[in-house]
Structure 1
Amino acid sequence: MTQLIQGQGEDAWTTVEEGWEPPCETTETSAKIPKLKARWTTDENNLSKFNARALNIVFDTVNDDAFKLILVCASAKQARDVLQKSNEGNSSVKRTRLDHLATRFENLRMVSNEFVSQFSIKLCVIANEAKNLGKTYKDHKLVKKLLRCLPPKYAAHKAVMKVSGNTNTLKFEDLVDMLKSEEMEVAEDLRLLDKGIIIKVDEVKNDQL
């Protein structure tokens, strides 16, 4: 936008930096009133044209939401000031949302009966929301968070990961897949154990008959 306006001439950019107002004239009672356009000087006419060009460029280069904010602006400087305040407000909101996401991320904990897939989804949701706001949660941050939050039953797995020292290069999705496989193996072992106990109980009952 800046280059486009400056391309219209130095005076066009001046209207953005210093502003522009319709020429006025002073009456005999020292009151200022708008000057009839027919009485404008050549310089006043030129500044008006440069302001109009600059303002049109601003109108043409913003999105629909921003255009609604500056629709009533009479000068390019007014439009720029409104847009700057709006962007500052948006930046403040973005920072607040990112801070909130960071707090959610740090406070997130994995409960003992929660599956790795369930917890990893929660982490991904936060990471995706942050990415939409311009912040990227890298793999090593997600990996360390997941390992840090694993319940005691994963102590051996965490120890192996710590010894291997590859947490900085391990992809988050790969770690999730590894832990999910571990969960499936444990679940299968428990199923077989329960089945063995049931069979043993049945054998004892049969022996007693």
Structure 2
Amino acid sequence: MASENNFVQAAIPRFDGHYDHWSMLMENFLRSKEYWQIIEDGISAPTEVEALTNAQKMEFEARKLKDLKAKNYLFQAIERPILETILCKETSKDIWDSMRKKYQGTARVKRAQLQALRRDFETLQMKEGESVMSYCARTMETSNKMRFHGEKMNDVTIVEKILRSLTPKYDYVVCSIEESKDIDELSLDELQSSLLVHEQKMNRNSTSEEQALKAYTFISSNSRGRGRGRGRGRGRADRGNRDGGNKEGCGNFRGNDYGKGRGRDFDKSKAA
């Protein structure tokens, strides 16, 4: 029994100053305990002149008990310094309304925040290299904030936003989804699942192309290396043959010229 009470205590959302987030969690918690209706409707004590039947008295006592339990959950969710300012409130509805007035903020501030969020939502674009999961999470984060600030947004609005703000490489995927599915009936989970499947296919194709390109580059570089080696060997041999021939030719040429020169200089008739 003690462990069960500890679990209930730990499950109560604690107010941390962020009213919109806390009120959403707290409302859901009170609904799960079937106490939200008493906070919405409140409880009013009957006047003395009213004559209640036994059934009505029992119903009123049951509502009072529910109200006390709802107040107990609210007391456990609120820190003592804040709690001391609302101890004079008689019902759980009074406490809830007081918290909303204190911490929800003015309507003007909320409108300004909503306008900024609308602008962020309209300018959202998928970044180059960003994953589908990351972009869908960014879009949902902004849309949830808009809903918290009072924006009534349907899922189809978010679906259309994601489809028109993907990177160009998803263009054929978007066309395929729009032609094969009814966008008005397409849920966010279905859209994300479909995009993830296409993303995985594109990643596999990209990996295969990269591996093929690396293999082709490796083979080409090796072929060029062997070709240059053979060319350099033949070049050296050819240059060696040409140099040897030239040297031999030059020697013969010089020798013949030398012989011819000496023959012209020595005239036998003049010597006689």
| TM-score scaled by length of structure 2 | 0.45
**More deviation, 119-128/189-198:** 119-128
- Which residue of 187, 210, 223 maps to 1:171? 187
Is it true that 1:103 corresponds to 2:116 in the alignment? Answer: no
What SS does the aligned partner of 2:185 have? coil
1:181 aligns with 2:194: no
Which one has the largest radius of gyration? 2
Please name the residue that 2:176 is paired with: 160
1:65-144 alignment, distance < 5 Å:
68-71=84-87, 87=100, 90=104, 92=106, 95-96=110-111, 97-130=113-146, 137-144=153-160
SS at match of 1:182: helix
Task: For 1:123, give the aligned amino acid.
Answer: T
What is the CA-CA distance between 1:111 and the residue it aligns to?
1.6
The CA deviation at 1:136 is: 6.1
Query: Partners in 1 of 2:86 and 2:212 — Cα distance?
Result: 75
* Distance in 2 between residues matched to 1:118 and 1:197, nearest whole Å: 29
Alignment identity in percent?
17
Moved over 6 A (4+): 82-86
Moved more, 190-199 or 90-99: 90-99
Alpha-carbon separation, structure 2, partners of 1:71 and 1:199: 76
Distance in 2 (CA, whole Å) between partners of 1:195 and 1:84 is 64
Paired AA for residue 43 in structure 2: L
Change (3 A) 1:130 1:206: same
CA distance in 2, matches of 1:205, 1:72: 85
2:11 counterpart residue number: none
Q: Does the aligned pair in 2 maintain the 1:127–1:136 contact within 8 Å?
A: no
Consecutive unaligned residues of structure 1, counting only runs of 5 or more, are 11-58
C-alpha separation in 2, matches of 1:115 and 1:196: 24
- RMSD of Structure 2 on Structure 1 (CA): 4.0
Unaligned runs of 5+ in 2: 1-37, 50-66, 227-272
Structure 1 contact 70–83 (Cα < 8 Å) conserved: no
User: Which among 27, 44, 48 is matched to residue 5 of structure 1?
Assistant: 44
Distance 1:68 1:193, change over 3 A: same
Normalised TM-score (structure 1): 0.56
Q: Look up the SS of the partner of 2:196 in the other structure.
A: helix
Amino acid at match of 2:168: P
What residue identity is the alignment partner of 1:92?
T
Between the aligned partners of 1:68 and 1:99, the Cα distance in structure 2 is 35
1:11-59 per-position Cα deviation (integer Å, ceiling 9, x unaligned)? xxxxxxxxxxxxxxxxxxxxxxxxxxxxxxxxxxxxxxxxxxxxxxxx9
* Residues 49-68 of structure 1 aligned to structure 2 (within 5 Å): 63-64=74-75, 68=84
Distance verdict in 2 for CA 1:4–1:188, change over 3 Å: closer
